[in-house]
């Protein structure tokens, strides 16, 4: 429930951002440039996002008796009760161990896992978790970083000292250990994992935002606004924060892949989110040592993870090149 609300909030935030981008000609130009440079990677990311959305829209059927769980659009795209008793190889007609006949022979493209669930469907459903991890964490960490970074950069003095103390304290703890400690203290669950990733992840961007704000506040138009008596909060919201938006976008895309990979590591420690690719990989570890080995579960989860991370990495590099004038100057 909480997860679904989070995804809904995510979609709304994304829509708001997209509307903003649609209005401003500079952003639109950047978008065109991105589509020109990375058409394929963008398409792949969009595909993952579409699958994640399809899996986020779920409802419960009440016909028939008994208890039903909510099934998403994605699950409904597959045949009803698309399960077997246990492992079956891709496109097999019989079970992998024992050779009992399958209920849906030849229709599990990527085979089934230990509980007889369709691996293709599981792999597709991982997209929702990945986007939840990347998106919700960014929704937590980026506003936090902006708040602290801008406050420190704009106010300076005592505020700057406090923010510096907080950020250097968080930064001095080894990332993975801090992450584990947070998840263990907060408890296990999707939102807790995102909060933990957010708390560990905001420091870098806060420092960046602080430095940028520090530069911006000395610029003529900010000084002019101050001389005209514009309230400080209004200056920050109108003249400082919008000029940090390109850094927000770059940070969002560049940290996204790291977040998803961190979740995979957490999964392996038993602290991850149910249904993630990390969990599938973790589970597949033992399956590989069976005789004969079960390889399709690992392959499907790894390929799905790899595809998303690669596409996001490629888009991220392009976004940085397009939006960050410093890089552009170096290239020229």
Residues that bind another protein (CB under 8 A): 165-166, 168-174, 176-178, 180-182, 184-186, 257, 261, 264-265, 268-271, 278, 281-282, 284-285, 288-289, 293, 298, 302, 305-306, 309-310, 313-314, 317, 330
Q: Which is nearer to another protein, 96 or 154 (CB)?
A: 96
We find the least distance from the C-beta atom of residue 263 to another protein, in angstroms, to be 10
Q: Where are the alpha helices (DSSP H) in the chain?
A: 2-23, 25-37, 39-56, 73-76, 119-155, 157-171, 175-186, 190-216, 220-227, 232-235, 245-268, 277-288, 296-323, 325-331
Q: Give CA angle at 54 (50, 60), nearest 5°.
A: 170
We find the least distance from the C-beta atom of residue 322 to another protein, in angstroms, to be 17
We find the least distance from the C-beta atom of residue 10 to another protein, in angstroms, to be 23
We find the least distance from the C-beta atom of residue 183 to another protein, in angstroms, to be 9
Q: Which is nearer to another protein, 59 or 165 (CB)?
A: 165
- Among 9, 14, 279, 316, which Cα is nearest to 125's? 279
Burial class from Cβ neighbours inside 10 Å (0-12, 13-18, 19+) for residue 332 reads exposed
Measured from the Cβ of residue 70, the count of other Cβ atoms closer than 10 Å reads: 12
| Strand partners of residue 59 | 71
Q: Which is nearer to another protein, 245 or 321 (CB)?
A: 321
Q: Which is nearer to another protein, 24 or 169 (CB)?
A: 169
We find the least distance from the C-beta atom of residue 18 to another protein, in angstroms, to be 26
Q: Which is nearer to another protein, 245 or 269 (CB)?
A: 269
């Amino acid at each position: 429930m909480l997860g679904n609300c989070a995804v809904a909030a995510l979609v709304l935030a994304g829509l708001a951002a997209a509307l903003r981008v649609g209005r401003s000609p500079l952003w639109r130009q950047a978008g065109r440039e991105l589509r020109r440079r990375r058409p394929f990677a963008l398409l792949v990311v969009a595909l993952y996002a579409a699958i994640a959305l399809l899996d986020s829209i779920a409802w419960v059927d009440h016909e028939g008796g008994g208890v039903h769980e909510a099934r998403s659009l994605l699950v409904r795209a597959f045949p009803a009760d698309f399960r077997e008793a246990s492992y079956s190889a891709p496109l097999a007609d019989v079970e992998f161990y024992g050779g009992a006949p399958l209920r849906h022979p030849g229709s599990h493209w990527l085979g089934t896992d230990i509980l007889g669930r369709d691996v293709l469907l599981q792999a597709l459903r991982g997209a929702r978790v990945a986007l939840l991890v990347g998106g919700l964490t960014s929704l937590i960490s980026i506003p936090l970083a902006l708040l602290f970074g801008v406050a420190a950069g704009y106010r300076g003095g005592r505020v700057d000292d406090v923010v510096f103390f907080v950020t250097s304290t968080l930064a001095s703890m080894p990332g993975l250990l801090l992450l584990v400690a947070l998840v263990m203290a907060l408890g296990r669950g999707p939102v807790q994992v995102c909060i933990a990733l957010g708390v560990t992840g905001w420091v870098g961007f806060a420092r960046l935002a602080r430095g940028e704000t520090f530069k911006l506040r000395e610029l003529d138009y900010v000084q002019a606004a101050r001389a005209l008596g514009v309230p400080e909060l209004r200056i920050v919201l109108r003249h400082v924060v919008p000029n940090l938006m390109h850094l927000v976008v770059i940070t969002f895309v560049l940290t996204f892949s790291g977040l998803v990979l961190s979740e995979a590591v957490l999964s392996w420690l038993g602290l991850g989110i149910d249904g993630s690719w990390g969990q599938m990989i973790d589970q597949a570890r033992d399956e590989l040592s069976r005789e004969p080995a079960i390889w399709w579960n690992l392959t499907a989860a790894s390929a799905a993870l790899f595809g998303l991370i690669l596409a996001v990495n490629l888009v991220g590099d392009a976004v940085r090149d397009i939006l960050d004038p410093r890089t552009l100057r170096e290239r020229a």
